[in-house]
Amino acid sequence: MFAFISFQRLILVGASDISKFQAWQDAGLVLSTTSNEACKLFDAVLTQYATWTNNESLGGIDGCLAKLKAADPNFTMGHVIANGLELIGTGRTVRLDKELDSAVRAMVALSQSQALTERERLHVSALDVFARGQLPKACDLWEQILQSHPTDLLALKFSHDTYFYLGHQRQMRDSVARVYPFWTRDVPLSSYVKGYYSFGLVETNLFDHAEKVAHEALAINQRDAWSVHTIAHVNEMKAEVEKGLKFMKETEKNWKSSDMLACHNYWHWALYYIEKGEYEAALTIYDQHIAPPCLASGNILDVVDNSSMLYRLHLEGVELGDRWNDLLGVTKKHTKDHILLFNDVHFLMSFLGAKDHKTTEELLTTLQELARAPREDHQLSLAPSLGLPLCQAFVEFENGNCDKAVDLLYPIRYELVQVGGSDAQRDVFSLLLIHAALNSKSKAKRNLARCLLHERDMMRPKSPMTERLIRKAAAVHSMA
């Protein structure tokens, strides 16, 4: 079903046969526009965002946004969803992008000149503070909306994604839980809300419950790539490699057309092969399904997947050819972004992999400068204590200073959740720490490596990668 509230109704009944706002009003979500077409297009954009899919028959999200602006240039919620998708995408920042900064300012000015609902005003305010780096405050405003309008999908999805960036795992879960009873099966896209909830469950280690809810969602709509993604996480976190491989192979035909998420699901698929030590199989997936969309679009999620995948293979000692240099062509333009620390460290991986020392230094220097300046930006406030030590740990490891890398990384390992991402994504930081400790000249740090591996083995029993690393640790210890 391709509809949220108004879109399907307006297509089937015809705009001339019903009130322009009736469908949204019936849901308690008034849209302040006199244009039926604007309502339909807003709905089309929201649906594609919620389902991680560009509907090419409608022109995709970008095509619908262009038509939406033309249908009603003064439609505030049209500006909200357009600017929100740019900001949530984390590929552009108002600090560096004058066009985006002007767009956000224009949205705020437009809202002040119109008679909007309180819900719409809160949406504008949330994006205004998000644009200035105040992500927790933006979430607070979206939560205000959801308390009165629990089926406001835009508020739910924006808050869900932002909690993810903040590493607020319980908030990400509970934000959906609070509105979950209102998303009954008769509400369009309710199965996707199940998918959002299942991901919050997996990120709070409620694996069995997460898998159950994700399967419930897939029973309603087998093309739900986000619920597939949840199950991929469950299998990854439990190191159930064969189960994970079987599931991805069996469901591929259902989710590979979800172009905004397919690359990430293939990333999970390749992780299983890295776990098994089947590096050529992982590289085949990388070359066929992970690198091409990233190099074509530059989507930040795809960039993160590419950097992380290659770095994991690098830690395993795999020869990567020109792949780092190919990726550098995409990441280099983001050197000074500093929107999310999580993004920064993944850009850094690509600079280090390509041995671009100048760009590496530029990223670190500009981040240090921003971190010194007093500002309201939540992510930059974490740079001195988390972002910079994390980035420097990668640099030290690549320079062969393993002891220094351990000294930087070990004290902050439990705090790194604050830089965002999922447990599966942040696992690359844990692997870096283990490899640095294993390769240390210090006996104490090599002992630490053994301890970290025992810890990992308890959390992921029968992990092939952990078993390989334990054997390596034993060999290192016997030679000491």
CA atoms within 13 A on the CB side of 32: 18
| Residue 136 falls inside a structural domain | no
Query: Residue 319 belongs to what domain range?
Result: 263-480
pTM for the structure as a whole: 0.94
pLDDT for 210 equals 98
CA torsion sign for 326, 330, 335, 341 is: negative
Task: Please name which of 293, 271, 294 lies closest in space to residue 282, comparing C-alpha atoms.
Answer: 271
DSSP 3-state helix, strand, coil percentages of the chain (rounded to 5)?
75, 0, 25
Q: Which two tokens stand for residue 50?
A: 């919620």
pLDDT tens, per residue, the chain with 480 residues: 233 443 333 333 334 334 446 777 777 888 999 898 999 999 999 999 999 999 999 999 999 999 999 999 999 999 999 999 999 999 999 999 999 999 999 999 999 999 999 999 999 999 999 999 999 999 999 999 999 999 999 999 999 999 999 999 999 999 999 999 999 998 889 999 999 999 999 999 999 999 999 999 999 999 999 999 999 999 999 999 999 999 999 999 999 999 999 999 999 999 999 999 999 999 999 999 999 999 999 999 999 999 999 999 999 999 999 999 999 999 999 999 999 999 999 999 999 999 999 999 999 999 999 999 877 899 999 999 999 999 999 999 999 999 999 999 999 999 999 999 999 999 999 999 999 999 999 999 999 999 999 999 999 988 999 999 999 998 876 665
8 Å CB contact between 371 and 362: no
Task: Please name which of 10, 26, 13 lies closest in space to residue 151, comparing C-alpha atoms.
Answer: 26
| Residue 461 falls inside a structural domain | yes
8 Å CB contact between 348 and 310: no
8 Å CB contact between 382 and 135: no
Measured CA to CA, the distance from residue 198 to residue 279 in angstroms comes to 30
| Residue 45 falls inside a structural domain | no
| Residue 324 falls inside a structural domain | yes
Task: Please name which of 203, 122, 125, 217 lies closest in space to residue 164, comparing C-alpha atoms.
Answer: 203
Q: Spell 14-41 as b/e; 16+ CB within 10 A means b.
A: ebeeeebbebbeebebebbbebbbbbbb
pLDDT for 479 equals 60
Residues 6+ apart with CB under 8 A from 193: 153, 156, 176, 179, 180, 183
- Centre a 10 Å sphere on the Cβ of residue 85 and count the other Cβ atoms it contains: 18
Measured CA to CA, the distance from residue 237 to residue 225 in angstroms comes to 18
Measured CA to CA, the distance from residue 354 to residue 461 in angstroms comes to 35
DSSP class of residue 115?
A: -
pLDDT for 188 equals 85
DSSP class of residue 383?
A: I
**Which amino acid, residue 15?**
A
Q: Which two tokens stand for residue 223?
A: 């093309």
- Centre a 10 Å sphere on the Cβ of residue 450 and count the other Cβ atoms it contains: 18
| Residue 48 falls inside a structural domain | no
- Centre a 10 Å sphere on the Cβ of residue 424 and count the other Cβ atoms it contains: 18
pLDDT for 16 equals 38
Query: What is the tally of structural domains in the chain?
Result: 1
Residue 268 buriedness (CB in 10 A; 0-12 / 13-18 / 19+): buried
| Residue 473 falls inside a structural domain | yes
| Residue 422 falls inside a structural domain | yes
| Residue 416 falls inside a structural domain | yes
pLDDT for 478 equals 60
Q: What is the CATH number of the domain that holds 337?
A: 1.25.40
Task: Please name which of 250, 257, 198, 197 lies closest in space to residue 225, comparing C-alpha atoms.
Answer: 257
8 Å CB contact between 265 and 232: yes
Measured CA to CA, the distance from residue 400 to residue 398 in angstroms comes to 5
Measured CA to CA, the distance from residue 458 to residue 365 in angstroms comes to 39
